[in-house]
Structure formats: structure tokens, C-alpha cells
Structure 1
Amino acid sequence: MLDLVIPAIGRVDLTGAPLSWVGTGWLVADNIIVTNRHVAQEFAERKGDEFTFKMGAGGQISASVDFLQEIDNWKQLIFKLIKPLYIEQAPDIDVAFFEIEKVSGNDKLAKPIDLAAQIAVTENIVTIGYPAYDSRIPEPDLMERIYGKIYNKKRLAPGGVTKVEPTRLWHNCTTLGGNSGSVVYDLHRGEALGLHFSGSFLKTNYAVRADVVRGLLDRVRQGRASNRAETRTPQTKLPEPPEMLATRSSVTGVVRQPGRHGVSLTIPLKVNVSIEIDPAWIANQRPPQRQAFAGGDDTEDYIDENEGVAEDYRDRVGYDPAFLGAEFEVTLPVVQRNAEDVLEFDVGGNKQSELRYEHYSVVMSRGRRMCFLSACNIDGNQSRKSARVAWKWDPRIPRSQQIMKECYGSPPKFSRGHMTRREDPGWGTPDIAKLGNEDSMHVTNTTPQMQAFNAPIWLALEDYALQHAKEDAMKISVFTGPYFSEKDPTMYGVRIPLAFWKVIAFIHDETQQLCATGYEMNQEQNLQPEEEFVFGAFTSPQLNMATQVSIRSIEARSGVDFGRLVDVDPLASSYESVEGSPTRGALLTLEQIQFVR
């Protein structure tokens, strides 16, 4: 059965575009392939009542499908995409259709994949598509164990359909970016159940139901499909079958494709690839620097509603400016541009703006109800692991100035993204380390982040800086915060920051001098949780990846004054201006970080 399906699935390649390939497509008719809207929009667009290919740097972008981009296969079987037939308008179903040439040289298209008319919860399904290395995955070791460090090639992943909704289904086959447009295929019935379009790490994946795809395809072929509201895909409520978790699968094997090319497709999946992985196992495997990934901790069971009292915090020293040494004092950054928006609170009759916790401090925005910045001292030599605790309110400021639930929850809502990482203040004696860990779980130390946001490099910056700090001290100070912008969208009643900054200061192990480096990360593309990213988006230096930037540029964009740190930044220079401040580009490896001039 798979021998007939595999040849009908190909990788969508581009010519004349910034991206060389963008996702997966498969045959649904004799000369029509289906893929996702968000894949199609990388190279095609609507013009009036028609659809056309976009213009690239050297002219119009051309697209093709290579059906032989497979492991250990150096041959090609390329068919050109002739015409965009239809691209569904957001926010409706994530579907697009393209007309494809029927013959390429002496080669003909494979048989189209049948689309199921009935969709139900079931086991023994597979997805087939083109997973790419995904920099958004917070567990890269797990990803590489599953995929054997082989990406961009045709891969099969087993699993089951776990839930059916009116226009989409949930499945637990393992996927990555690049799988956008993959087929969800029923091995028992020999037909497509869905068109994969998105996933949530270690939770579930989503696909457009095959019967919905078929209905839209029929209207497209009859010339009745339109992006006008009156003819969009109907959202009729269908009865939902009961939820069921599919049995986990382990598959090893080689599928031989018969026919003119004798292609071999290896499926190296001798691992548990179901995303219904035991959470306890994941917790045991997770390195400390990745704990900032919120995962499933946004349920009400992880919220402590028993608020403490302000007096409980009298002994908290907070961020220590002299932590790196008296001669290298680094004062707490000052909010300048929006100083009037800094939240003040009363302590013994005195107004203060610094919320002091164990080993770190927070400065809050009154208008945004989240922190301007979080500043932490980290002693790598005294670091200790502690169990995670529930999220807490801070009793020193009104609950109305804190965000506990509104925008937080399971997808498509946001995770509570730590500004100071949970493990960073967890050092000192066992009791002090435990208190630092618990203090990090105040919602004053969080901002809304998509669960895919915390890429491994962003989470590992502190650990890497510790390796370059003075060996006999192993101390660093870290400042983190969101960029507040007029462009920030409002979602679930909360304005969501599109980007974040981080500054790390330490005594360099070679120069023995104060050093500071700045970084940015952007989550703008992540704000569409129902859309998985095409492969090329991962390599954009401005989206979803950590970037080293000058501290002066962070000052200009954030309105936060970092004092002496601007002058000890290796990216600083005498000719630097705000408009032309240096940026070193996306960090693909930690070794790219520049610590000295």
C-alpha cells in the first residue's frame, strides 16, 4: 500500500526565491497537488480574482515538486508547478492547490492519493513528508535521536488520530517544520485522512480533515471556490467522536518503491515517536538550561492561589550591583523612556520600584502589567537543582497589575515565559537555592511567549557565558526583558511583546576585565500557533532565532539605560550610531558569540 502512496508525495522546491524549498505537497488529482496556505504564501499570492506566483529578486518565482528527495537517493523526479489554483484565506483552513505538469520528460505523475470521506479516531496512521531541522524545538537532543540527524528528506512517522473536530483532526505522529503539507495516511483503509499543518511540542499535531480538503477541491475544480466570505469553506459543526490516545508505535524497515527508478526509502524510526511521551521521562532527560520552556505548566493545577504577605519578602536582597566585584559594579538598569510607567509600591511608607527576590530583581510596567526587566546574579559554582513549584502572585503589588491567567494556557494561548530562568537564582546553600528557585515562579517574572519561542541557543546563553567567566569565580549578571512597541498585538486582552532582549555581564577569563554582550529574539512569526513554519523561516536572522546585537541598540529600542555596560560591549565602537549599531546576525552555534573586540 505504501508503495503506491510514497511516489505521490514530494518536496516543494523554489527557484528565484530566498528559500530553496518550503514544505511538502502531494497529489490529490491527476494534475493537482495540495499543500498548506502558509507554504503557498512563500511563493504565490492573490491578485484580484486570480492567483499568481510572486516576484523574486530576478523575476517571477518558479516552483516545482521533486518526488525523489529521499534518503540515499541521488536521483530527481521533478514536476513543475504551472499555476496556483487556489489559496484559502486566513484564518480559514490552511489549504492551497496548484496545477502541476502531467509529464516531465519521459516521466509521468504517480497515482493521486484518495481522500477519505469519513474521518474518525483511529490507530495505525502515518505522516509522510519532509521534516527539516527545527531550531524552535527546545529538546534538540530528542529531535536528533528521533531523526538521526537526517533532515530535508522524505520521512514516515507512525501514530494515530486522537481527536476529530469540525475542520481538523489531532494526531500524534512526530513532525517538524518542513512537514507542513504532509499527508496523514490511514494504513488500514488506504486513503488520506488529513493535510498536516501544525504542531505543539510534546502535546499534539493538527491536520485539515481530508473530507474538508475534498469538498474545497471539488469547488475549486468546478470554479465555485472564492475567498469571498459567502463561499468560504463551511464551518458546519459535526459531532465529535470521543477522544482516544493512539497506541505508541515503534517502526523499523525499508520500503522499496517499485518501478522505473528502483528507489529505496529508508525509514529509521526505531524509537518511540508518539508525542504522547511520558512527561516524567522528558523531565528526567531535560538539561537544566532548557527548563524555561513552559511546556504544560500553564494549567490551573500549577497556580498557587494562596497569596503570601508583603512581610515575607523583607529579607530579599534582590539583584546585587557589586556581585562581580566592587571595582566592576554594574548598577541595576534604569527605565528612562517610559519612566512614568514604572510601577511603584509602598514599603514601610517609602515608594519603591524594584521588586527584590532571592538573587534577582524585577521592575514592572504599570500599563503593560509585566516586567520592563528582570536582573539576576548567577553563581555557577554554587548552582543547585530544585523541584519546580506552582506559579505565584506577588503580594507587594495589586493582583490587577499582574497577569496570571488571561492570555496563558494551552495552545493557541501562550506560555508563561520566564525572564530570569528558573534555575538561575537557584544557588547557594540548599535552603537559599530552593528559595531562589521558588521566587523565580512569580508571574512578575514572566511575559507571554509562544511555546516554540525558547530556542536552545537562547536558553543556553547564560550557561555559555559562565564557561567564559573568570574560572575561580564563575559569576555572571543577566538582564532580560521584552521590547514594548506600539506594534505589539492585543490577544486575549493582553498586549503581546513581539521581541525580547538579553544582556549578560561577567569578568572575562582571558582579559580579566568586565565584558557585556547583548542579544535579541523575535516571536512575531510564532504568534500564529495554528501555522507551522516553512523550512526557510528557521534561517531568517530576525525571526525565531537568537541574534547578537550591540547593547547600545538594545538601549535605543527598549528605552532602558545599561550604564557602563555599553562601553564594555565587544560590538561597541567609537563610530557607532543608534541607526547603524552593529548586528552579528543569527546565532546558529554558541561559538559564534563575540566576547572580546
Structure 2
Amino acid sequence: MQTMTSQDTLESHEVGLSTAAPAQTVELSGLELVSQWFPCPLTVRAGTFSLPPEPAWQDVVRAARPQLEAMLRAVGRLECPELGPLMQCGTAWLVSADVAVTNRHNILFLLDDLQRGTRTLRLDLSAEADAPAAEHCAVRRVLYVDPIHDLAFVQVDPPRTSHAGLGVVGSIFAAHPVAVIGFPAHAEGGYPEAEYKHCFGDGWFDRDGRGFKRISLGRLVSTSVALLEHDCTTLGGSSGGVIVDLVRGAVIGLNYGESRDRRLNLGVPGWVVRERLAQLERLR
């Protein structure tokens, strides 16, 4: 039997691409960046969250609460159970009832094992503080890995609580405040102690350091055809999180990592996600 390499597996999941320009070259650390400690991320409990203490953010978050609460049900912690304590692979979110989007780097190192069936992936859509039980959706297969952007689609079992998936808009208003919904994982020791404990000292990580669902607030710093830059406070585990325009209550991008040179976090713009998803749907 022919052995499949990582490159073979990657190419087998590519779909026809438009002739978009390559993404801007950015140095990535593999971890997320805490570039702005305040406001602190909001911890999700039972599908909702408390308002931030900062008065300037309270009206924004209060107005966006209905849209945010509706989105929370579609965002899951991406896990590989065979990795044991290191099972958290990032974040993924439903774009339809049975398709989720995540980062390429979250699954690329697993592609060969997934192909052979020696490892599996799943989404835990209820990985929230005080959640009574997990709601796991098995990842059935990798549908697409993008060769340009840090983006991938996977097919999942539809969740018990039906969700049509999050719609992604193709327009971005740079002046609007934003949020990243994801699962920042325990990283004490990698950041200034006082600031880290202030933001993440509530202890809402599991015994293996996996993160619970949080909403990180911030603002867009720049946008381009291939890249969003933002200052939302994230940690490793936030990769693959959904970027939300808080004024419109709309999904505008896919969070994926850190630019060390710029000291900012990065995202794939919503129009790229929309285009790739449309291409995928035409081929399914």
C-alpha cells in the first residue's frame, strides 16, 4: 500500500482556488499573543456571560449580547483525544450544520494519522465554565486545507442541539470594536505574572490546562485583502476562534496567531472564508 506523506495529504484536500495574491508573509510563533491585557476576556457560563467591568465596553457588549449568545452555541474546542492531556488543538466553529472551520496549523500535524485512522478529532461545543457535560461532535473527515491561508474545513456530526452554522460577512468596518470567541489555554509562566493572573486568574482551565470558552474584546488595527490585525487578548488555544464585529453582530474573520514583529494578533478576513466555503460547497 502506498504511504501518504503530509504533503500528499495536504494536496488531496485542496480545492480549486481563485487567483488570489499570496497572503502577507508574517512570522508566526505557534502561540497566541497577549498584546493588550485589558479589557479581560469574558468567561462563558451556561451560554451567557457577565458584562465587562470597563464602563466604555459595557454598552457595546450589552447591545451585542443577543448575537453573541446565539454564536456561542456554534463554537467548539477542537480536541484530539488520543493526545491525552495535550488534546486541545485550538478552536473551530460551525459554518453549516455539518461543516466547521478552523486553522490549517491546528490539524496539519495530524493529517497523516487522521488519514490512517490512528487519531481522531472532535468538537466540544459545551466546553464552558460549570458545564454539566460535554457535547462532542466527531470530526468525520478533513474536507479542505488551504495552501495559502491558515484555514481548513472539516466535516462533523451535526450537534444534538441543531445549529445552522455562523454566516460570514464579506465587508469589514475597521472602526468597529470586535471580539474573538475561542478557548485560550493555560499559559502561566509565558507572560507577565500580574497581568496574566488579573485576566486569567479566575482559574477556569481544566486540570490539564485546557481552556474554557471565552470572549476576548478588542479592536481592529489594520485590514488588507489577505489579513486582519487585531489586539484582542488571546492565548494558545484561541487559534481558530471566530472574529466578530460587535456593532453589527456579524462574523468577519478567523483568528489564527501572532505577528511577533507587529505585536498583534492576526486573522483571515471573512471574504476569504466565504470564498473558500463557496468553492467547497460547489464541489461537495
TM-score by length of 1: 0.34
Match of 2:108 among 26, 33, 41: 41
Q: Are 2:272 and 1:212 equivalent residues in the alignment?
A: yes
Q: Are 2:92 and 1:25 equivalent residues in the alignment?
A: yes
Of structures 1 and 2, the one with the larger relative CO (CA 8 A, separation 6+) is 2
Q: Is residue 188–residue 196 contact of structure 2 (8 Å, CA) maintained in 1?
A: no
Distance 2:221 2:174 in 1: 5
**Which residue pairs with 1:94 in the alignment?**
150
Distance 2:191 2:93 in 1: 29
Q: Name the one with the larger helix percent.
A: 2
Over 3 Å counting, the alpha-carbon distance change for 1:158 and 1:2 in structure 2 is: same
Q: Aligned-pair distance for 1:135?
A: 5.7
Q: Secondary structure at the match of 2:251?
A: strand
Match of 1:2 among 45, 54, 68: 68
**Which residue pairs with 1:511 in the alignment?**
none
Q: Structure 2 matches for 1:507-586, cutoff 5 A?
A: none
Q: Aligned-pair distance for 1:218?
A: 1.0
Partner AA of 2:251 in structure 1: A
Partner AA of 1:189 in structure 2: R
Q: Name the one with the larger strand percent.
A: 1
Match of 1:68 among 111, 119, 126: 126
Q: Is residue 102–residue 109 contact of structure 1 (8 Å, CA) maintained in 2?
A: yes
Distance 1:97 1:158 in 2: 25
Distance 1:138 1:124 in 2: 25
Q: Secondary structure at the match of 1:53?
A: helix
Distance 2:271 2:278 in 1: 11
Distance 1:75 1:110 in 2: 18
Q: Aligned-pair distance for 1:54?
A: 4.7
Q: Is residue 14–residue 21 contact of structure 1 (8 Å, CA) maintained in 2?
A: yes
Partner AA of 2:272 in structure 1: V
Partner AA of 2:136 in structure 1: I
Q: Aligned-pair distance for 1:140?
A: 3.4
Q: Is residue 120–residue 164 contact of structure 1 (8 Å, CA) maintained in 2?
A: no
Distance 1:182 1:118 in 2: 18
**Which residue pairs with 2:172 in the alignment?**
119
Deviation by residue 1:410-455 (Cα, 9 ceiling, x = unmatched):
xxxxxxxxxxxxxxxxxxxxxxxxxxxxxxxxxxxxxxxxxxxxxx
Q: Are 2:193 and 1:131 equivalent residues in the alignment?
A: no
Deviation by residue 1:501-553 (Cα, 9 ceiling, x = unmatched):
xxxxxxxxxxxxxxxxxxxxxxxxxxxxxxxxxxxxxxxxxxxxxxxxxxxxx
Q: Is residue 4–residue 111 contact of structure 1 (8 Å, CA) maintained in 2?
A: no
Partner AA of 1:128 in structure 2: I
Partner AA of 1:15 in structure 2: P
Q: Aligned-pair distance for 1:200?
A: 4.3
**Which residue pairs with 1:81 in the alignment?**
139
Q: Aligned-pair distance for 1:150?
A: 2.7
Q: Is residue 183–residue 214 contact of structure 2 (8 Å, CA) maintained in 1?
A: yes
Q: Aligned-pair distance for 1:120?
A: 3.1
Alignment identity in percent? 28
**Which residue pairs with 2:114 in the alignment?**
53
Distance 2:214 2:124 in 1: 14
TM-score by length of 2: 0.69
Q: Aligned-pair distance for 1:157?
A: 1.0
Instruction: Supply the RMSD in Å over aligned alpha carbons.
Output: 2.1
Q: Aligned-pair distance for 1:42?
A: 3.4
Partner AA of 1:197 in structure 2: Y
Match of 2:80 among 14, 19, 22: 14
Q: Structure 2 matches for 1:177-326, cutoff 5 A?
A: 177-200=236-259, 203-223=263-283
Q: Structure 2 matches for 1:366-381, cutoff 5 A?
A: none
Q: Secondary structure at the match of 2:105?
A: helix
Q: Aligned-pair distance for 1:136?
A: 7.2
Q: Aligned-pair distance for 1:198?
A: 0.6
Q: Is residue 141–residue 155 contact of structure 2 (8 Å, CA) maintained in 1?
A: yes
Deviation by residue 1:554-591 (Cα, 9 ceiling, x = unmatched):
xxxxxxxxxxxxxxxxxxxxxxxxxxxxxxxxxxxxxx
Partner AA of 2:236 in structure 1: G
Distance 2:258 2:185 in 1: 14
Q: Aligned-pair distance for 1:219?
A: 1.0
Distance 2:189 2:263 in 1: 15
Distance 1:109 1:25 in 2: 16
**Which residue pairs with 2:204 in the alignment?**
150
Segments of 5+ residues of structure 2 without an aligned counterpart are 1-66, 206-210
Q: Secondary structure at the match of 2:177?
A: strand
Q: Is residue 65–residue 80 contact of structure 1 (8 Å, CA) maintained in 2?
A: yes
Q: Secondary structure at the match of 2:90?
A: strand
Distance 1:136 1:194 in 2: 29
Partner AA of 1:96 in structure 2: A
**Which residue pairs with 1:505 in the alignment?**
none
